[in-house]
Structure 1
Amino acid sequence: MATCDFCGRTAEDGAATLTWTTAVENGRQKTFCDQCSREHLRAMEGKLDSEFW
Structure 2
Amino acid sequence: MTSLPGEGSTQRPDERSDERAAVCARCGTTAAETPLTWTSSVEGGVRRTFCDTCSRENIRAIEGRLDSDWW
Structure ID, larger Rg: 2
Higher-RCO chain (CA-CA 8 Å, sequence separation at least 6): 1
Q: Which runs of 5+ in 2 are unaligned?
A: 1-20
* Superposition TM-score, scaled by structure 1 size: 0.90
- Residue 2 of structure 1: aligned partner: 22
Kindly report the root-mean-square deviation, in angstroms, between the aligned alpha carbons of the 2 structures: 1.0
Match of 2:70 in 1: 52
- How many residues get paired? 51
- Which has a greater percent of strand? 1
Q: Which has the higher helix share?
A: 1
| 2:6 corresponds to | none
Gaps of 5+ in 1: none
Report percent identity of matched pairs: 57
